[in-house]
Structure 1
Amino acid sequence: MSDLTVEMVQRGRGPSTQEAARRLGVAREIRSARERLTSRTGLERAFDHELLRHYAQYRAGSGIPLGVFAMALAAAATAWVPVAVAGTWALCVFLVITLNSMISRRFLGADPDQVDLVRWRWRFAGGEALQSLVWSAMIGLGATGGWTFALFGLVIAAAVATMLAATVPAAAVAALLPLCAATLCLLTFSSGVDTVMLVAMAAGTQVFFLGLSRRLYASTVGALHSRAEKDAVFGELEQAKANSDEARRRAEEANLAKSRFLATMSHELRTPLNAILGFSEVMKNEVFGAHAAPSYREYSNDIHDSGMHLLNLINEILDLSRIEAGRYELNEEPVLLAGVVEECRHMMALRAKAKNQIVHASVDSSLPRLWADERALRQIVLNLLSNAVKFTPPGGEIWLTVGWTPLGGQYLSVRDSGPGIPEDELGTVMSSFGRGALAIKTAEQGSGLGLPIVKGLVELHGGQFQLRSRPREGTEVIVTLPAARAMDTLPPVTDEEPATAPEPKRTSRRAA
């Protein structure tokens, strides 16, 4: 068995993202090279089939225009040759065009995986050669004096044939050779300088059309390459999205399983812990008599204190698990935030006094009640005050403020003169069991669950949680509850009104 390395731990059981991308690229290159080696044209099979498909589509769609063009040439040729000759030539052109169209449609209807590309390429080349031979018979239409007409007809036929067969170079060459030979044969009708010049220009034009078809072929291949790369990118993006969705689903399932496990274990641990706390409290208070040794009393106190610490930790884990699992139910009722804050301040006064800390409280007495969970509000305030007392050094100060928000809601601010939190550690302290470096060195031990629980409870109430801190300047936590939870004072009940009081009405008015 090989030793476990840091790289193996970092990437887990599978390759890293960069390694997976590299392997995918190598596999794609190997597949492409294998297809090119087995191809006669040096392209991938998919490209060969696509080029033949383009040719077949062009040929299948050009039958009617070519037929009309052949009829026009035959009608014009009747000025030099008998109608029967022109009609026979036009009929031959129609038959060859029909044959090529049928071959093209047959290719388009075949299964791409079962097609023999080499055989079909030769079929298309043979069809082009046959059709060009028929077009070349046009020189017979101008034999009695219309050789110039035949010359330009051959040039037009060469242009059409090379453009239509551009995606199959062998077919383009097969289509052009008979037309060039027929063009050169026109020199037998006249040996004048003008005739030689015209024939030379016509032949050069036909060769130019062949070069242009090669450019069209290269452009089509480039477009196919671009489309293949785009399709590959889209496929990779789809695969990456699918992998991301699957990873997110697994993470959500794992997080839910973790929360359920913690909730179950918390309940299982609290049962024996309650017994430990009960018996240790009996021993600490010497209910059944004094201890024979004074050390036993100290041990009992240590057992009880450790049990209480463990119970608080289990309660925090249970609360956080319920919040993350979405199973924390709020028991909402009219609650006076100022009263809850005052009770919590009184409960933490002894701990602050033990560290010679000064707590400054500023509470707006005009605040109405909130429609909220009293237990959750009390836990929010206690956690924030406990953190402030815990992280503030002896002799420090703590500012506790409760008041209106600009939009008519209520806010709670807890600020201390502690060591503060660096900006790069704000995310750490907001995570479960996360604690900053300065907090670990200067503060008492804690679980690191206080702030995540506070944030979760605030969000359950529809409020906002803000954490502001800078090193050596202290920390401030602001909890804002929405105006929709603030309640107006109920109007007095008179004798003329029903005895039942109306339900509490929520308001979003701006406080003066």
Structure 2
Amino acid sequence: MGELTAEMVEQGRGRSPGRERRRRLAQDMRTAREKLTSSTGLQRAFDYEFLRVYAEQHRRSSLVVLGIAAAIATVSSTWLPAPMAAAWFAFMSAAIGIQHSLSRGFAEADPTIVSLGTWRRRFALSDLLLGAIWAAAFKELAEVPGGTYGFALFMGVMVAATTAVLSAAIPIAVYAGITPLALVALGLLGLTRDFGSAILAVMTSAALVCFIFLGHRLYDSTLSSLRWRAERDQMLVELEEAKANSDEARRRAEEANLAKSRFLATMSHELRTPLNAIMGFSEVMKNEVFGPHSNPAYREYSGDVHESGQHLLTLINEILDLSRIEAGRYDLSEEAIQLSWAVSEASHMVAMRAKAKGQIIRDLIDPSLPRLWADERAVRQIVLNILSNAIKFTPPGGEIEIKVGWTASGGQYVSVKDSGPGIPEDEIPIVMSSFGRGSLAIKTAEQGSGLGLPIVKGLIDLHGGGFQIRSRAREGTEVIVTFPSARVIDALPAVDIPRGPPAQAA
């Protein structure tokens, strides 16, 4: 089984900083390389998408453009000779067919090997050819006397608008398609002598410039849309990758947690067996069951061995309890208990230790509290851990106050407040962490594993209750645990059994 490292866990939550920097660097290098090989300064994927949009729009609108050309040729035949109009329509049909074939050819080409620059030039030349044929009809109609000047200008504006919309994905194609029309419009402006016609020619030229600007705006809008879509696709890829990393990290964490549980179970058995022998024999030697020691120091050493064994056994039990809580395998054996009795019993158990240090324990316990639905062993361990910490860090002659009562929400609470040196606010998260010890415990060399408060927090969480520490340096410490109102067993009212009439004697 592979080892679960911090980097794997970080990958499960997201990307590690080093991995993120490498990914961005690789992406920047790939983007720069694609820009260097692109003729427009964009990524190749964007260049290809613009050409694809151009080809798709022209392929779908070929019949529409052909219909417009047929309508213009039909109307133009009223002013121009019919053979001339038919020839113009034939040239226009051929140009539209060429453009349609180019669009289909690009759609069927392999995107990975297609030459984008070559196809861009082909499309621009096809637009130039169409623009020249449109410009020829524009010129012929404008030069026919008899009121065709306005129709010719209208045709030029309509063709320019169509070109700007259909070819906006390739700006050079917009220039190629509108330039012939603009040249004809400028030529008519220079040749006309009528003021009204000159005004129309000027307006037509201005409209052609506006359509070129419109083509640029459509191009920018398409570019923004493509960039947004690319960012969205990249985000989806990153989310999928992050999910895969998270699943892998979770799998490894579950395997590591299972291995930890097996290790603790095995080591618990292997450690407790010799430890029980050590504690048993040391107790026999300490109590001089088989006779006094020849040297009184041996009895003292035996007592030290016995106390050390008890401390080690307590540490093993605390580690096992915490591991079961964290793994969600601590099963509560719930029953109806009296919280005040459980607290009084725990207080009695630690009273000798407090008396040895000259400490006073004050009990403010409400004996009328109803019972709780809880695990008695867990509740006793909660109270013992809190009281042991209070006795440990309260100086000789200090006071410890225990309160048991109602909470504002209808639950019950246990409060243990001491007159010790207190805990600095910045150290509260430390003492709440597993194996965490505050600066006071380190300075005074107090024995302890740093697991008491985390176990209390875990056990009270299993009961759905709350845990709170109120402390400041040199002002003492108050630890409060609360049980929710849902665990309070209310006294049931007496059942009123109606009495019937007295039975008649037989």
Alignment TM class, shorter chain as reference:
0.7 to 0.9
In structure 2, the residue matched to 1:48 is 47
- Work out which of the residue numbers 304, 307, 319 in structure 1 matches 2:306: 304
The 1:393–1:124 alpha-carbon spacing in structure 2 relative to 1, beyond 3 Å, is same
Measured in 2, the distance between the counterparts of 1:453 and 1:288 equals 41
* Alpha-carbon displacement from aligned partner over 1:398-442 (angstroms, at most 9, x marks no partner): 001111223332211111111111111111111111111123224
Measured in 2, the distance between the counterparts of 1:180 and 1:144 equals 19
* Alpha-carbon displacement from aligned partner over 1:137-165 (angstroms, at most 9, x marks no partner): 31345554235533442343234324432
In structure 2, the residue matched to 1:408 is 410
In structure 2, the residue matched to 1:36 is 35
Measured in 1, the distance between the counterparts of 2:54 and 2:497 equals 96
Identity %: 58
Corresponding position: 1:378 with 2:380: yes
Corresponding position: 1:469 with 2:471: yes
Measured in 2, the distance between the counterparts of 1:397 and 1:64 equals 97
In structure 1, the residue matched to 2:401 is 399
217-226 or 96-105, which deviates more: 217-226
Measured in 2, the distance between the counterparts of 1:167 and 1:37 equals 20
Measured in 2, the distance between the counterparts of 1:425 and 1:263 equals 32
Q: Counterpart of 1:114 in 2: which secondary structure?
A: coil
Measured in 1, the distance between the counterparts of 2:164 and 2:498 equals 102
Corresponding position: 1:25 with 2:27: no
- Work out which of the residue numbers 336, 339, 345 in structure 2 matches 1:337: 339
How far has the Cα of 1:32 moved from its partner? 1.7
Measured in 2, the distance between the counterparts of 1:439 and 1:58 equals 77
Checking the alignment, whether the CA contact within 8 Å between 1:391 and 1:443 is kept in structure 2 is no
How far has the Cα of 1:135 moved from its partner? 1.6
The 1:148–1:22 alpha-carbon spacing in structure 2 relative to 1, beyond 3 Å, is same
Checking the alignment, whether the CA contact within 8 Å between 1:411 and 1:481 is kept in structure 2 is yes
237-246 or 392-401, which deviates more: 237-246
Measured in 1, the distance between the counterparts of 2:334 and 2:445 equals 35
Q: Counterpart of 2:482 in 1: which secondary structure?
A: strand
Amino acid at match of 2:306: H
Measured in 1, the distance between the counterparts of 2:336 and 2:224 equals 72
105-114 or 212-221, which deviates more: 212-221
* Alpha-carbon displacement from aligned partner over 1:287-325 (angstroms, at most 9, x marks no partner): 333323222222211111111111111111111111111
* Alpha-carbon displacement from aligned partner over 1:39-97 (angstroms, at most 9, x marks no partner): 22332211211221222233234334433432432343233134554355345434433
Q: Counterpart of 2:133 in 1: which secondary structure?
A: helix
How far has the Cα of 1:234 moved from its partner? 6.1
Amino acid at match of 1:70: A
How far has the Cα of 1:227 moved from its partner? 5.2
Measured in 2, the distance between the counterparts of 1:471 and 1:364 equals 30
In structure 1, runs of 5+ residues without a counterpart are 1-8, 498-512
The 1:421–1:250 alpha-carbon spacing in structure 2 relative to 1, beyond 3 Å, is farther
How far has the Cα of 1:117 moved from its partner? 1.2
In structure 1, the residue matched to 2:282 is 280
Equivalent residues, number: 488
Matches within 5 A, 1:104-119: 104-119=103-118
How far has the Cα of 1:363 moved from its partner? 1.1
How far has the Cα of 1:240 moved from its partner? 5.3
Corresponding position: 1:446 with 2:448: yes
Checking the alignment, whether the CA contact within 8 Å between 1:340 and 1:377 is kept in structure 2 is yes
- Work out which of the residue numbers 308, 319, 322 in structure 2 matches 1:320: 322
Matches within 5 A, 1:61-100: 61-83=60-82, 85-100=84-99
The 1:141–1:490 alpha-carbon spacing in structure 2 relative to 1, beyond 3 Å, is closer
Which gives a bigger RCO, structure 1 or 2 (Cα 8 Å, sep 6+)?
A: 2
Checking the alignment, whether the CA contact within 8 Å between 2:407 and 2:413 is kept in structure 1 is yes
359-368 or 217-226, which deviates more: 217-226
How far has the Cα of 1:333 moved from its partner? 2.0
How far has the Cα of 1:99 moved from its partner? 3.8
Q: Counterpart of 1:476 in 2: which secondary structure?
A: strand
Measured in 2, the distance between the counterparts of 1:154 and 1:355 equals 106
Q: Counterpart of 1:40 in 2: which secondary structure?
A: coil
Measured in 1, the distance between the counterparts of 2:245 and 2:466 equals 33
Amino acid at match of 1:464: G
29-38 or 384-393, which deviates more: 29-38
The 1:469–1:260 alpha-carbon spacing in structure 2 relative to 1, beyond 3 Å, is farther
Checking the alignment, whether the CA contact within 8 Å between 2:9 and 2:249 is kept in structure 1 is no
Q: Counterpart of 2:112 in 1: which secondary structure?
A: helix
Q: Counterpart of 1:108 in 2: which secondary structure?
A: helix
The 1:287–1:495 alpha-carbon spacing in structure 2 relative to 1, beyond 3 Å, is farther
Measured in 2, the distance between the counterparts of 1:495 and 1:77 equals 109
Corresponding position: 1:362 with 2:403: no
TM (normalized to structure 1)?
A: 0.83
Amino acid at match of 2:288: E
Q: Counterpart of 2:402 in 1: which secondary structure?
A: strand
Checking the alignment, whether the CA contact within 8 Å between 1:86 and 1:141 is kept in structure 2 is no
Amino acid at match of 1:40: S
234-243 or 169-178, which deviates more: 234-243
CA RMSD of aligned residues (A): 3.5
Measured in 2, the distance between the counterparts of 1:351 and 1:251 equals 42
* Alpha-carbon displacement from aligned partner over 1:300-357 (angstroms, at most 9, x marks no partner): 1111111111111111111111111111111222222211111111111111111111
Measured in 2, the distance between the counterparts of 1:386 and 1:435 equals 15
In structure 2, the residue matched to 1:510 is none
The 1:258–1:74 alpha-carbon spacing in structure 2 relative to 1, beyond 3 Å, is same
How far has the Cα of 1:179 moved from its partner? 3.2
In structure 2, the residue matched to 1:503 is none
The 1:256–1:362 alpha-carbon spacing in structure 2 relative to 1, beyond 3 Å, is farther
TM (normalized to structure 2)?
A: 0.84
Matches within 5 A, 1:415-430: 415-430=417-432
The 1:257–1:105 alpha-carbon spacing in structure 2 relative to 1, beyond 3 Å, is same
Matches within 5 A, 1:164-183: 164-183=166-185
